[in-house]
Amino acid sequence: MPALGRWLSFRYKKIRAIVFVSSALLTLAEIAIAQIVVAAARTPSRVPPEVSAFIPLTARDVSYLETTSGGPNVTLAAWSEPSKKHQGSRDVGVVAVRSARTGRKLIWHLKLDGAYSPTLVPRADLTYQREPIVLLQTQYGAAAARIDAVGIAEGKVRHLCSIEGNYFDYTSIGDTTYLVAHDDVNLLDVPHLYRWTGASFADDSQHHPQFYAELAIQIRSKSDISKFAPPVRERYAQILCLSAYPSASCAK
C-alpha cells in the first residue's frame, strides 16, 4: 500500500505539472494572437508591405496613397504614434517610399510634434511643377488643425508650406478655389482666404472685400454688435477692415 500511495502521489504531481505548462503555453499563445490583432488594427493590411516596413508597430490612424507624381511607384504614408517628448500626447510621422526592382527606398520623411489624426488628400486641381500636390491634414489639441502642402516632382518630395487654423474648408470666388482657414471660432471667426500660387498658399484675404462684407452682414443679422466684449469687437473690426467698410478700424 505505501508503494501504491507513492506512485499515485507521483502521478498526481506529474499531471499537475503538465496542466500548468499547458495553461502557460495557452496564455502565451493568446497574448501573441492579441498582439497580432492589435498590430493589424493599427497598421491596416491594405498598406503595401514595402511601406509598412517603415511604419512603427505603435502607429495608429494610418493614411496612405500611391501617386505617379515625380515618377511611378511612389507611396506616401502618414500615421500617429506616442510622443517621445511629451507623455500622453502623439506625434505624426510621414514617409515617401519609392519601389523598384532593386527594392524599396525611403526618399523623404517628416515629423510633426504634438499632431494626430493625419489624412493624406491628393489635389489634382492644385499643382506644383505641373504635378498634383498632396495635402496632409492633422489635428492639434481639441480645436486646432493644420494643413501641410507636399509637392512631388522631378523625383523629389518637398514640404512646400503649412497653414494653421481651427478648421478648413473651400470656397469658390470666380473661377478660383480658395482654401478657407477658420480662426478662433470660440471668440469670433475671422476666416482667411488662401490662394494656391503654384508653390505655396498665399493669404489673399485683402483682395476679396465682398466676401467679408457678406460675412459682416451675417454677423449683424444674428448678433447685437453693441454688446460685443472688447476682444470680440476687435475681431469684428478686422472683418470690417477686410470688407473695406468706410468706418472700419484696421487695428489688428
- Residue 71 confidence (pLDDT): 61
Task: Identify whether the C-beta of residue 43 lies closer than 8 Å to the C-beta of residue 52.
Answer: yes
What is the average pLDDT score of the chain? 81
Assign 100 to helix, strand or coil: strand
Let me know the angle formed at the C-alpha of 123 by 120 and 129, rounded to the nearest 5 degrees: 110
Give the end of a domain, one of 165, 198, 213: 165
Same domain, 237 and 179: yes
Q: Above pLDDT 70, what percent of the chain?
A: 77
Give the end of a domain, one of 165, 197, 212: 165
How many other β-carbons are positioned within 10 Å of the β-carbon of residue 123? 15
43 pLDDT band, cuts 50/70/90, is very low
Same domain, 54 and 148: yes
DSSP label at 226? G
Mean pLDDT of the region 213-220: 95
- Residue 13 confidence (pLDDT): 52
- Residue 154 confidence (pLDDT): 81
- Residue 205 confidence (pLDDT): 95
Same domain, 82 and 140: yes
How many other β-carbons are positioned within 10 Å of the β-carbon of residue 227? 8
Same domain, 154 and 181: no
Q: How far apart are the first and last CA of the chain?
A: 101
More confident residue, 197 or 246: 197
Contacts of 79 (CB under 8 A, 6+ apart): 43, 55, 56, 59, 60, 61, 62, 63, 92, 93, 118
| Residue with the three cell numbers 457678406 | 214
Mean pLDDT of the region 101-126: 91
Give the end of a domain, one of 165, 184, 208: 165
Query: Model confidence over 148-203: pLDDT tens digits?
Result: 999 998 878 999 999 999 999 999 999 999 999 999 878 899 999 999 999 999 99
**Domain span holding position 193:** 168-252
More confident residue, 38 or 164: 164
For the whole model, what pTM was predicted? 0.76
